[in-house]
Amino acid sequence: MRVLHLFCLLAIVFGCQAADLKWWQTASFYQIYPRSFKDSDGDGVGDLKGITEQLPYLKEIGITATWLSPIFTSPMADFGYDVANLTEIDPIFGTMEDFEALIEKAKALGVKIILDFVPNHTSDECEWFIKSAARDPEYKDFYVWHPGKIVNGVRQPPTNWISVFRGSMWTWNEQRQEYYLHQFHAKQPDLNYRNPKVMEMMKDVFRFWLRRGVSGFRVDAVPHTFEISPDADGNYPDEPRNPNVNDPEDYEYFQHIYTTNQPETIDMVYQLRQVLEEMDQELGGDDRIIMTEAYAPLDVIMQYYGNGTHDGAQIPFNFQLISNLNKNSNAYHYNELINIWLKAMPEGKTANWVLGNHDQSRFGSRLGEDRIDIINTLLLTLPGCSITYNGEEIGMTDVWISWEETVDPQACQSNPENYERLTRDPVRTPFHWNDNNFAGFTDGNSTWLPVADNYKSVNVKRERGITYSHLNVYKQLQNLRREPTFQGGASEVKALSENTLAIKRSLAGYPTYVVLLNINDSVESLNLNSAFYGLSSSLEYVVVTDRSPRRKGDLAHTDSITLMPKEAVVLKTV
C-alpha cells in the first residue's frame, strides 16, 4: 500500500506542475518533407507556397509545430541535405518572401515552424568548400583534409572508413591534392568542428533563422559531426571489422567507433542550446527548441538532454520504437521499449515518441496496415510530445519504386539487386490530398516520385467523411490530448498479456483514462482491477476504431472488458 500511496502522491505533484509546462513538453510535432507535401506551381515538386496553402490542415489535425526537411540552396545530390548556402532558400522551394509568408500565416494559425539544421557537412558546391579546396587562409581548415598514405608507391585513402552511402569516406580533390572526408555522399564534405571558426559560423546560422521567426531546429545526423582526433602525425586509426557483414562497400562492414558518437558531439549540442537561450533573451516569446537526430546507445542519447551543468536538447529523438519494433513484436516488447526510455530519462526532462520519418519505412508497412490506428493511439497517448511523419495520420504506406525510377543516392550508389534494402524513396512519395489526378499533390503533368496506387482510397478528402477513418481517429486522439490528464497527468504503461498493452493516465481532480491496445489477432478478456489501482467500477469509451463493436459513450465494467483483434480503445472513469 505504501508504494501505491506514493504513486498517487507523485501523480498529484505532477498534476500541480502541469500548468507550468512549456509549449513543447506536450506538443504534437509534424514532419513535412517539402518536396512531397504540396506543389503550388505544377513542376511536380512540393514547395513553400504549397505548405503555406495547407497550414490550416495542420491546425485541423491538432499540430503544435511542424519541422521542415531542408529548404536551403542545394544541388540536390541528397535532396537538400547537401546544403550549398545555409541562409538562402532554394529556388525549387521558393523565395525568402515565400518563407516569410509561411512564417506569418503559421503564426496567425498558432502553428510553430521548426527548420532542419545540417551541421555535419555542406555541399561541395558551398562557397566554404570551394575556398577550402583553394587553401584560402580563412577556410583551409573548414573541412577534414588528409594527403593520404603511400602503399607500394600508390597513394591511397588514409583509413578504411566506409561512407553511409557506400564506398570510402575519402574522396581525392585534384585542386588541393588531398583527400576530404565525407561520412555521407561524396558531394557532402564533412565540416571540421575542431576548428572553432566552424562552430561560430554555424551558431550564426542558428541566429539568422531564429531572427526570422523559426521556433527551433531539428539537428540532423548529430552522431557524425566529430570523428576521432588525429594523432601527432595527423593520422587516423582504421575501424575494426564487423564479422556479420560481408560486403566491403557496405557501411556496416566496419564498426564505427572512431567516426560516430565522439564525446565532443555532446558539447556541440550544449553550445547550440546556449545560442537558443541567448536568442530567447533577445527575441522574447516562447522557448525555442532543439530536436536532435541521433541513432546511438541509450546512455549516449540521455546525455543530449544535458549533464546537470549544461542544458542540451529539449527533444533528443527517441528511436526506441522506430528501430526495434517489428510485425512480430508482442505487448511485452512494446512495454519494455517504452519503459526503458522513461526509466533512463533524467529527472525533470520530457519524453518524446517517434514512429516514422523520411529515412524509415512507414509504420503501416513496417508494423502492418491493420495496426495503423493502434500505433497512432500509442503515439498520442503516451506522456510527453509526439512526432508524426506526414501521411501517417491518414495511413499512407510505402510505395514500391523500380530501380529505373529510383532517385535516392543511398540506393543509386548500389545496384538493382540491393537497392530496395537501401532506398528511402518509398517513404517520400507525394502526399494524398484527394482522389484527383496525382492525389491532388500537383496540377502539373508529373511528380518527382510516383504517387501510390491506393491514393483514391487513402486521402484526406475521403477520410474526412468516414467516421472511423485513420484521419478521424487521429483527430479524436489529438482532441483528447488537450485534456488536463494527458497534458500533465502521471502515466503507467504495462503489458496485460502477450497481446495487450495498457496505458493509464491519471491526474488528481480529473478523469483517469485507460488506453488498451490489442496488438495481435486474438480476442482478449481483461480485468483492469488486477492491473491498475484505484479505478472506478465503470469506464466510458471515449475513442474507438473501426475494429471496435462499441461506440463512444458506451460503458464497460473494469473487471470484464473484451478487446477484439487489433482493436485500440480509450476509456475514462465515470
The residues assigned a catalytic role are 220, 293
What is the DSSP-derived secondary structure letter of residue 564? Answer: -
**Radius of gyration of the chain from its Cα atoms, rounded to whole angstroms:** 25
Report how far residue 387's alpha carbon sits from residue 380's, in angstroms, rounded to the nearest whole number.
9
Residues near 333 by beta carbon (within 8 Å), at least 6 away in sequence: 324, 325
Distance, CA of 139 to CA of 128 (rounded, Å): 6
Q: Give the number of other Cβ atoms within 10 Å of residue 496's Cβ.
A: 22
Name the one residue in this structure whose C-alpha cell is 519504386.
401
* Sequence-distant (≥ 6) Cβ neighbours of residue 101 within 8 angstroms: 48, 49, 52
Tell me which residue of 117, 88, 139 sits closest to 206, measured CA to CA.
117
Per DSSP (E only), the strands in 425-528 are 490-495, 500-506, 513-518, 524-526
Separation CA 473–CA 105 (nearest Å): 27
> What are the backbone angles phi and psi of residue 217, rounded to the nearest 5°?
-140, 145
Give the span between the Cα atoms of 396 and 533, in whole angstroms: 38
Helix (H) or strand (E) run with residue 377 in it = helix 372-381
CA distance 98 to 38: 14
User: Residue 389: which H helix or E strand, with range?
Assistant: strand 385-389
Distances (CA, A) of 155 to 1, 150, 160, 178: 72, 4, 13, 10
Q: Under DSSP, is residue 481 helix (H, G, I), strand (E, B) or coil?
A: helix
Cα separation of 533 and 486, whole Å? 18
SS (H, E, C) 136-186: CCCCCCCECEECCEEECCEEECCCCCECCCCCECEEEECCCCEEEECCCCC
315-316 sheet: strands from edge to edge: 315-316, 289-292, 216-219, 112-117, 65-68, 28-32, 385-389, 352-354
Rounded to whole angstroms, how far apart are CA atoms 23 and 17?
13
- DSSP 8-state symbol, 216: E
Given a contact cutoff of 8 angstroms between Cβ atoms, the answer to whether 188 and 171 are in contact is no
Counting Cβ atoms within 10 Å, is residue 276 exposed (0-12), middle (13-18) or buried (19+)? buried
How many whole angstroms separate alpha carbon 262 and alpha carbon 257? Answer: 8
